[in-house]
């Protein structure tokens, strides 16, 4: 949706190919975060706007400060995991380095810290109406529950269409999700109710590891355009910050899955069970460090409500990914399907235990 040009390692000019009328989130968020002193996103240097005869504004381009970096966090994480696998002893008898997770854990923690800092800035009281925090009322909670139910149904329809091509494990997961549909929707509705009175703010809205730059052990958050396919009003809407966290956690899951596929041949010297155990522990550690880093600097709130909303938006995100992969990359559908099945098992466990 945009093209970028680096100017003398001092600035980056981003030209938008898809123009929309009204305030552009990339310029709007960049300006606000720059004014508020948030240092871990490119500073907004300027905005090029076309104003029509009727006063309608279209943002054509923005100029942002250039950040020297070692690439985005997605590429960084893949490279680190592949290096760590290369250093992994072939058998359990050989001792693995006790620091084999340290690099990844450090960056995951910094990602959480920077996101927590950004959310704290966006949660500050302000006289700017487009950024003033609000509270979730019943209408918001009902909309969240409806949206998640609709996304679950979209995922189930996609799985029904792809059932014949699924591997046995994926088929079993799809069938289990179909059987649990009603209970999962009910649980999602209950999770949404935990958000009563929760703070609603502007968020990134399309956050994943590819939307962060790694620079000398630090992390910068970039690309505030939001999901280009969504209407402008949705991309500018205030919502729960937990949506951003769900995006990062799902991105960790995808990164581990990509490395798992690449490592089958690249690291054939390591036993499959050992590779899988390493990647499973890696995912758990990345998530734990990310969440700990976030909680250390995020605005104080209701931890129980945040946990419930995070589960809600993880269900929605994974279900969206299932439908997306079915339509665009069928060979990847097992990645979000495994994630959705795992999340469903976690949130449904108390209900199933109570029924026994």
Domains located in the chain, CATH noted? 69-355 (3.90.1200.10)
**How many whole angstroms separate alpha carbon 138 and alpha carbon 193?**
8
Q: What is the pLDDT of residue 248?
A: 99
Buried b / exposed e over 336-346, threshold 16 CB at 10 Å, is bbbbbbebbee
Is the sign of the CA dihedral 86, 88, 90, 95 positive or negative?
positive
Residue 198 has pLDDT above 60, yes or no: yes
Of 126, 121, 81, give the one whose Cα is nearest residue 100: 81
Residues facing residue 3 across a β-bridge: 15
**Could you read off the pLDDT of 314-356 as tens digits, one per residue?**
999 999 999 999 999 999 999 999 999 999 999 998 776 666 5
% of the chain with per-residue pLDDT over 90 = 77
**How many whole angstroms separate alpha carbon 317 and alpha carbon 340?**
9
Query: How far, CA to CA in Å, does 346 sit from each of 186, 209, 270, 353?
Result: 14, 24, 30, 12
Encoded tokens for 300: 């104080």
**Would you state the torsion angle of the CA atoms of residues 184, 187, 189, 190, taken in this order, to the nearest 10 degrees?**
180
**How many whole angstroms separate alpha carbon 212 and alpha carbon 77?**
11
More confident residue, 234 or 301: 234
> At a CB cut-off of 8 Å and minimum separation 6, what does 273 contact?
none
Residue 269 has pLDDT above 80, yes or no: no
Q: What is the pLDDT of residue 307?
A: 95
If you average pLDDT over residues 36-41, what whole number do you get? Answer: 97
If you average pLDDT over residues 286-306, what whole number do you get? Answer: 93
Among the residues of 131-218, which ranges form H helices? 138-162, 168-179, 181-193
Residue 159 has pLDDT above 90, yes or no: yes
**Could you read off the pLDDT of 207-239 as tens digits, one per residue?**
999 999 999 999 999 999 988 788 889 999 999
272 — pLDDT class (breaks 50, 70, 90)? confident
Contact by Cβ (8 Å): 351, 195: no
Contact by Cβ (8 Å): 16, 50: no
Q: What is the pLDDT of residue 216?
A: 94
More confident residue, 266 or 34: 34
If you average pLDDT over residues 185-203, what whole number do you get? Answer: 97
**How many whole angstroms separate alpha carbon 48 and alpha carbon 69?**
26
């Amino acid at each position: 949706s945009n093209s970028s040009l680096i100017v003398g390692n001092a600035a980056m000019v981003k030209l938008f190919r898809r123009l929309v009328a009204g305030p552009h989130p990339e310029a709007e968020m960049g300006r606000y975060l720059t004014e508020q002193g948030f240092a871990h996103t490119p500073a907004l240097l300027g905005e090029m706007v076309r104003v029509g005869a009727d006063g309608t504004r279209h943002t054509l381009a923005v100029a942002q400060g250039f950040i020297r970096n070692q690439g985005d966090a997605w590429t960084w994480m893949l490279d680190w995991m592949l290096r760590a696998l290369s250093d992994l002893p072939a058998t359990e008898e050989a001792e693995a380095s006790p620091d084999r997770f340290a690099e990844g854990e450090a960056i995951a923690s910094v990602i959480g810290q920077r996101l927590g800092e950004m959310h704290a800035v966006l949660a500050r009281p302000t006289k700017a109406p487009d950024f003033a925090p609000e509270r979730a009322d019943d209408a918001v909670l009902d909309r969240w529950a409806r949206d998640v139910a609709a996304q679950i149904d979209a995922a189930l329809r996609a799985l029904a269409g792809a059932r014949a091509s699924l591997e046995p494990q994926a088929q079993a997961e799809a069938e289990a999700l179909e059987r649990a549909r009603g209970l999962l929707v009910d649980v999602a509705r209950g999770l949404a109710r935990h958000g009563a009175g929760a703070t609603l703010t502007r968020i990134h809205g399309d956050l994943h590891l590819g939307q962060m730059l790694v620079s000398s052990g630090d992390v910068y958050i970039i690309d505030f355009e939001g999901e280009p396919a969504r209407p402008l009003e949705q991309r500018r809407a205030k919502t729960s910050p937990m949506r951003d966290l769900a995006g990062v956690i799902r991105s960790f899951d995808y990164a581990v899955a990509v490395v798992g596929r690449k490592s089958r041949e690249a690291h054939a010297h390591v036993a499959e069970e050992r590779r899988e155990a390493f990647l499973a522990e890696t995912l758990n550690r990345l998530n734990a460090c990310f969440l700990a880093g976030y909680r250390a600097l995020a605005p104080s709130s209701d931890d129980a409500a945040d946990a419930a909303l995070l589960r809600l938006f993880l269900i929605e995100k994974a279900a969206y990914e299932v439908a997306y992969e079915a339509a665009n990359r069928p060979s990847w559908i097992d990645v979000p399907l495994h994630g959705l099945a795992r999340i469903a098992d976690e949130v449904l466990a108390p209900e199933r235990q109570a029924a026994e």
